[in-house]
Structure 1
């Protein structure tokens, strides 16, 4: 029976343990995996235990990838799943890791939607419909996205937002012929997801006060 002859903490990555079997290096595992199975020198290592170690090590690796991805910015569940698929983890492993992240509140699409709306309205205002579309593209469920829109810290009024955007646009396009400015401004607001019913009053108000 193969036997663990030495456990040694790795120098380059101190959270990993090198496992030596019958006097030779066999594989490395995360310290949490080693602790879970109470690995120690002199312990026999049957094939089924080796498979369990490899399985849990894969879960640990996937979790580390996901946490590093989340450390850079908030992400949706869909984005994390996509990231793990890109790293060639099996669907079963992805499901286990995502469920753990949700349980530990490291993944929360509702919280993501709230932060996304808050940031978008501060940096690049847009219509409610455009916000909804953008959140859906990120993988946020429609019900979750709509709830976040309703509960936004600052109420989202499309008519007010359209007028605010129009005013900023006009201020940076001085000297443009009026009719050409109207056409460009209409297209600009339309791309931000506003309806004609909000666009025309906004353009009229801004140009009258310009």
Structure 2
């Protein structure tokens, strides 16, 4: 019983520092506690609303989509943060779509890409770089063409 109390306090301490997903909290707690105790501690913080994966996903999407492509942020939520697809879909419906053209233009500036002076190779490299960052092909091409004109 003493160990359960410590696990609950640890969970609260971890959530006090920053918001976490259920999977992140479970991972942190499982380093020091048995699975049954971790389950009980997670159930405890959930009952008070201290942990909410949907809320976390909405906040994460709003903040990260200002600097990263939406697809990249969604992948982070699914695979790094442990958010389920259903919860992610709900969160995506709650947040408004981000105009990624601005982000692409920022990357173009950061990479010192000048459309007037760029060679085919430089254009290809920037295109592939942006694709790896999760931007859609049509958005990238639209921005590259806008700059060419």
**Fold match by TM threshold 0.5:** yes
The structure 2 residue matched to 1:65, chosen from 10, 20, 27, is: 10
1:126 equivalenced with 2:61 (yes/no)? no
Q: Which has the higher contact order (CA 8 A, sep 6+)?
A: 2
Q: Residue 65 of structure 2: SS of its match in structure 1?
A: helix
Asked whether the 8 Å contact 1:185–1:203 carries over to 2, the reply is: no
Q: Residue 68 of structure 1: SS of its match in structure 2?
A: helix
How far 1:182 moved relative to its partner? 1.6
Asked whether the 8 Å contact 1:132–1:146 carries over to 2, the reply is: no
The equivalent residue for 1:40 is none
TM-score by length of 1: 0.63
The structure 2 residue matched to 1:113, chosen from 57, 60, 81, is: 57
Asked whether the 8 Å contact 1:166–1:185 carries over to 2, the reply is: no
Structure 2 vs 1, CA of residues 149 and 95 (structure 1 numbering), >3 Å: closer, same or farther?
A: same
The structure 1 residue matched to 2:87, chosen from 114, 126, 144, is: 144
How far 1:72 moved relative to its partner? 1.5
Listed as ranges, the matches of 1:25-36 within 5 Å are none
| Alignment partners' CA distance in 1, 2:9 and 2:52 | 18
User: Structure 2: 5+ residue runs without aligned partners?
Assistant: none
The equivalent residue for 1:184 is 125
After TM superposition, which residue ranges in structure 1, 4 or more long, deviate above 3 angstroms?
173-177
Structure with bigger strand share is 1
How far 1:59 moved relative to its partner? 0.7
Structure 2 vs 1, CA of residues 86 and 170 (structure 1 numbering), >3 Å: closer, same or farther?
A: same
User: Structure 1: 5+ residue runs without aligned partners?
Assistant: 1-55
Equivalenced residues, count:
145
| Alignment partners' CA distance in 1, 2:86 and 2:129 | 28
Q: Which has the larger Rg?
A: 1
How far 1:95 moved relative to its partner? 0.7
How far 1:175 moved relative to its partner? 6.5
The structure 1 residue matched to 2:36, chosen from 78, 92, 116, is: 92
1:170 equivalenced with 2:95 (yes/no)? no
TM-score by length of 2: 0.87
| Alignment partners' CA distance in 1, 2:47 and 2:133 | 36
1:82 equivalenced with 2:22 (yes/no)? no
